């Protein structure tokens, strides 16, 4: 099994698993590989480090107090900000973790809403007016229809869902 780091024209990073290099090249030439975030089929391989499993023993975590995160606490009876200890900043999320979170959110939208297709504006109005059962829906609407729905007080969230999110990945 060959695991490759791939990137689309929009610089979205993702992973692909292939039986061999020939399998990857064949799928690429046939246009079968696409970015799971935007659906772009212009994909190229990125440099990646090989994963070596040397069955190395990991040292147990140190129990020294220096390894624990600093806490912000002022001495009792003071409110002087200068008495606070330095707080370790939170790590910023990586691009891959942000992309994974977005894909997870998109899959949840797919799982928890009903696709009403081109009838989105009509069905949203029916739900808003109490003529249809209240539920989460998704579908297509023109920009004009979306503006009209918002002006009527109907909440609408334009959200691009690529085809890769709509199908189960194998």
How far apart CA 141 and CA 119 sit, in angstroms, is 8
Q: What is the mean pLDDT of residues 26-50?
A: 86
- Please give the residue that has the higher pLDDT: either 122 or 85: 122
Residue 145 has pLDDT above 90, yes or no: yes
Q: What pLDDT does residue 64 have? A: 46
How far apart CA 31 and CA 41 sit, in angstroms, is 6
For the chain, the average pLDDT equals: 78
Q: What pLDDT does residue 25 have? A: 92
For residue 56, the Cα-to-chain-centroid distance in whole angstroms is 32
Partners of 2 in beta bridges: 18
Name the nearest CA neighbour of 157 among 132, 135, 131, 138: 138
pTM over 0.75: no
> Are 160 and 110 in contact, with CB atoms under 8 Å apart?
no
Q: What pLDDT does residue 164 have? A: 65
Span of 52-56, 66-70, 82-86 with lowest mean pLDDT? 66-70
Domain regions of the chain by residue span: 2-45, 113-156
> Are 43 and 28 in contact, with CB atoms under 8 Å apart?
yes
Residue 83 has pLDDT above 50, yes or no: no
């Amino acid at each position: 099994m060959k695991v490759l780091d791939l990137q689309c024209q929009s610089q979205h990073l993702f992973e692909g698993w292939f039986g061999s290099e020939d399998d990857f090249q064949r799928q690429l030439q046939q246009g079968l590989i696409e970015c799971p975030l935007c659906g772009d089929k212009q994909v190229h391989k990125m440099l990646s480090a090989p994963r070596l499993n040397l069955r190395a023993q990991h040292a147990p975590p140190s129990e020294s107090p220096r390894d624990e995160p600093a806490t912000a606490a002022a001495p009792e009876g003071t409110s002087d900000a200068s008495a606070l200890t330095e707080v370790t900043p939170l790590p910023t999320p990586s691009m891959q973790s942000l992309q994974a979170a977005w894909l997870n959110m998109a899959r949840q939208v797919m799982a928890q809403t009903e696709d009403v297709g081109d009838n989105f504006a009509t069905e949203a109005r029916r739900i808003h007016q109490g003529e249809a059962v209240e539920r989460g829906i998704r579908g297509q609407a023109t920009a004009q229809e979306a503006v009209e729905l918002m002006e009527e007080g109907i909440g609408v969230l334009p959200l691009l869902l690529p085809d890769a999110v709509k199908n189960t990945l194998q």
